A = this chain, B = another copy of it.
Amino acid sequence: MILINGIAEDRINISDRGLQYGDGLFETIVYRNGVLEFLDAHLERLITDCKRLKIPFQDSDDLRADLLTVCQSLRAEAVIKVIITRGSGGRGYFAGSDINPSRIVSSHPLPNYPDSYYQQGVSIRFCQHPISENTVLAGIKHLNRLDQVLARNEWHDTNIVEGLLFNNDGDVIEGTMSNVFIVKSGQLITAKLDKSGVAGIMRAQVSELANVLALPVNEATISQQELLNADEVFICNSVMGILPVSQIVDINKIYAVGTITQQLQNALQKLGK
């Protein structure tokens, strides 16, 4: 089921600024066991980031009603994608103040990651495509996703689950669809996202779980060398949860699935996710 501004339809006017300029943002939320996981965190980020993009979407009541309608139509667990655009109209890039944001809610099959991914870890690779840098857009899950599209389409091997994106300094920023954590000497580090990257809901959740488990966690620059020297590496997002990285295929680098990653997986599972 797809709702556009609360109405069941699957097509949008081409004048929508989401299509014209990528002028909007999105969330992907897991619906499982009758619950929209981390819903409040997703909606909070959506509203905060609309504010950063000056999209006047402040009240999520209509969106919550849409989510209820879509979830009630589902017979199985699903991924719910919410897109908010600045709306339809304006004169070129100028939007003015008299257009209303569009909201699009759609449901998609929940990817079925095998248990082995969680237990033995996954293979990932390095992407050649560099990540764009912009301090104002950094962290926002906006609709300007050419970086991720070009990076993700560098490989077709289905055994490779994720590709890492680097900035121009050669520092690791994130995966095409996930955030990255490394563990070194008992300390968790995830990339600082002040110039690029998406500040994922699961990334924030992992940091919270680390705090609960009294594991030190920092946001910092992660050089390629620090990645290679890490004791453990894992990737995470709202849909996959936490996946240990067992291998970086380009460079034949192998990691063991470590105890801190497992502790965090267990803590996440106890939340029922």
- A131 proximity list for chain B (CB < 8 A): 134
Instruction: Using A93-B152, A153-B54 as known contacts, say yes or no to A145 and B16 having CB atoms under 8 A apart.
Output: no
Residue A20 lies at the interface, judged by CB distance under 8 Å to chain B: yes
Cross-chain pairs A/B with CB under 8 angstroms, 10 sampled: A11-B12, A14-B106, A19-B143, A21-B143, A53-B146, A54-B153, A93-B148, A132-B133, A135-B168, A136-B150
Question: What separation, in Å, do the CA atoms of A153 and B10 have in the docked complex?
Answer: 30
Does A42 belong to the interface (CB within 8 Å)?
no
Q: Contact: B146 with A135, CB < 8 Å?
A: no
Partner of A153, one of B11, B14, B95, B176: B95
- Least Cβ distance of A154 to chain B in Å? 10
A35–B2 Cα distance when bound, in Å, is: 41
With A14-B106, A19-B16 already in contact, the answer to whether A137 and B132 are too (CB < 8 A) is yes
Shortest CB–CB separation between residue A220 and chain B, in angstroms?
21
Q: Which residues of B contact A146 (CB under 8 A)?
A: 21-23, 53, 137, 142-144
